Amino acid sequence: MNSFLKPLVVNLKNYPEIAGKMSIIFAKDAASAANGSVNLILAPPVCSLQAVCDIASLPVISQHVDDVEYGATTGFIVPEYVKACGAVGSLLNHSEHKISSIKIKNLVRRLGTLNMISIVCAADIEEAITLSKYSPDYIAIEPPDLIGKGIAVSKADPSIIVNSVREIEKVSKKTRVLCGAGIVHKEDVTIALELGASGILVASGVVKASSWKAKIRDLCSAFNRS
């Protein structure tokens, strides 16, 4: 699968706001707000993955997959099963679910074989450079101390994005950079794109907004002007 141009990836995490059927309502609101103008991608909780895939008119990815056998394994999330649900890829190595480099390497390859996208999270430039040698479709830069704090990395330390884009390109021409951590406002997105990021990974900035539709429209408008 070719990677998406300028994606806006929304990680729903396991927030109570989207528990149960609320994931489906969120997916419908998100599709309505984006209205096909932006490559909006949803990462719902694993227990909601099939339901969201069934109703969403948007690409859906898993929040995580495990590097275990497709078959006689219990309690794991395998890429093949995620694809069977209708998902098009997965997040890997989020700061809230770190995995080893060898697992990242294996899973990026496995997802690629399945024609699915890989979005690998990195806490800093050094980790991003190390992981870029596996050539995932995207590396999302997310300093852990900014996650959920409402302070975007694009404002807190713009050099992280600029340097990540430059250094990752030296290692993998395929891999694009997403800006994560603290994205809340349209301005955060605009700055990130101007600094060289190819897209955005956001969570609480959207899920905990008073209006999902209004917040998604606001963030999407930054892409439409980039």
Q: Which residue has the tokens 């969570």?
A: 203
Task: Tell me the CA distances in angstroms from 14 to 17, 49, 143, 203, 204, one per residue in order.
Answer: 8, 12, 20, 10, 11
Q: What is the DSSP letter of 42?
A: E
Catalytic residue among 96, 142, 167, 194: 142
Pick from 209, 197, 144: which is nearest to 8 by CA? 197
Phi, psi of 116, deg, nearest 5: -120, 155
Structure tokens at 158: 């713009």
**Can you tell me the distance from the alpha carbon of 220 to that of 17, in angstroms, rounded to the nearest whole number?**
21
Residue 94 a catalytic site member: yes
**Can you tell me the distance from the alpha carbon of 18 to that of 16, in angstroms, rounded to the nearest whole number?**
5
Amino acid at 195: L
3-class secondary-structure state, position 167: helix
Catalytic residue among 69, 94, 96, 194: 94
Helices then strands, each counted (H, E), the chain: 10, 7
Q: Which residue has the tokens 């190595």?
A: 93
**Alpha-carbon dihedral 118, 122, 126, 128, rounded to 10 degrees:** 20
Could you list the active site residues?
Answer: 94, 142
